[in-house]
Structure 1
Amino acid sequence: MSLVDLIARADERGLAASGLACLDRCVPLLGGDDEVLRPLWSSLADGGADGDAWGERLAKARAELDCADPSADTVPGLGPDPAPGSGSGAETETEAETEGAVSDEDRAAALARRMLATAPGDPCASALRAWADACSAAALQIHRLLDVAADGDGPLVAAERRRQVAVLELLAGRGAGGLRPALEVSTEGRRVLRAVVSRRARGRS
């Protein structure tokens, strides 16, 4: 089943886990430690994203990562979110104009920050589905920006797509029991991205 179909069929817990996993893998771009989103995973295990704990823990994560503005909806040098599962977006005039001023790392970090900023604090199924869609597209775009391949599905993008599919399949097949292995999938991806970010930083020094 395609990534788009999996998101379309996911229940509220699966949608929340999908969006959260995308964000969790991109935490290295926000300067956060590996445990900063763990309370949100715990809230999904305790009662899903519809409980009060989700909103409270989301607000805490935003404060810790200095991302408290839920209205953040623009990214320097990038147009609107690409379609879920596409991993690429059309270059806009704004992107072309700012290409020299905004680095790929800056664009990737801004996309990650927008994922956290736009997470629904009082979520319903429709809000979670929109967020999961946007997180899927943003995470793929982030990996495309940082990939060694010039365009298309380079190794980072292909691996990120596989992880997104794996998380959704785990939640669809196991329900709450799929959260732990989904977190493990996300942790693996976060380690990969952290290594990529570190390698690119060393290359600039």
Structure 2
Amino acid sequence: MTSKSLTELIAEADERALAASGLACLDRCLPLLVDEMDVLRPLWSGIAAGEDGWAERLATARAALDTVPEADGAAAPVRQMIGAAPSEWAADRLTEWATACSALALEVHRELDPPEGDDGPDGPLVAGEERRQIQILEILLVTEGSAGLRRAMDLVTEGRRVLRAALSRKARAQP
């Protein structure tokens, strides 16, 4: 079986997988914004319900994040992407958002990756992030219901730990 690219998987995803993929990318980047990681949990619950309640849960998550003080400039794009999440449960809007969230998460990890040289391949943080994005989409494409979402959230938790460790290394390395 040939594995599909991240772009191909996003193109094949339904609304549920797209919403979860975009949210997972942002959730993994959440350590840039806030230490409290349950801010987006209501939105994860909303994905299980589908279109019903998505807009309300999204508004709740945005309001919770609005109370978080502005962090450094690295966090601003993450906050903007949460603000850009579509209130409509529509495949075209969710595809656009999930694609942008994917790119943002990869860029966040690229900035934290150890230098690999000018033309070198992406480092281990980017490779791990891309792998998690692919795994989440593959899981959601074949697993219906909340079981797929639980497995996706396990990968999100792993990704958050990796990002927190990278942020900690970066903080220790700064004079």
TM-score (norm 1): 0.75
Instruction: Spell out, residue by residue over 1:171-197, the C-alpha distance to the aligned partner (whole angstroms, 9 max, x if none).
Output: 001122311000000110011101211
The 5 A counterparts of 1:118-157 are 118-150=84-116, 152-157=121-126
Gaps of 5+ in 2: none
Q: Which residue of 1 aligns with 2:157?
A: 187
Amino acid at match of 1:109: A
Structure 1 residues 27-69: Cα deviation after superposition (integer angstroms, max 9, x where no partner)? 0001241211111111112x11x122x222222222222289x
1:113 aligns with 2:82: no
Deviations 1:113-160 (A, max 9, x none): 122110112231111010011011111011001111346410000000
* Counterpart residue number, 1:57: 57
Task: From 37, 45, 61, give the equivalent of 1:34.
Answer: 37
% of aligned pairs identical?
57
Structure 1: tracts of 5 or more residues without a match: 69-104
Separation (CA, whole Å) in 2 of partners of 1:66 and 1:164 = 26
Runs of 4+ in 1 over 4 A off after TM superposition: none
Give yes or no for contact 1:67–1:116 (8 Å, CA) kept in 2: no
Q: Which structure features the higher share of helix residues?
A: 2
Amino acid across the alignment from 2:17: G
Alignment partner, residue 170 of structure 1: 139
TM-score (norm 2): 0.87
For the aligned residues, what is the CA RMSD? 1.9
Report what 1:95 is aligned to.
Answer: none
What SS does the corresponding residue of 1:13 show, helix, strand or coil?
helix
8 A Cα contact 1:22 1:164, kept in partner: yes
Quick one: distance in 1 between partners of 2:154 and 2:126? 18
* Structure 2 CA distance for partners of 1:143 and 1:107, relative to 1, 3 Å: farther
Aligned to 1:97: none
Residue 158 (str. 1) matches residue 127 (str. 2): yes
Tell me, yes or no, if the aligned pair for 1:144 and 1:154 is still in contact at 8 Å: yes
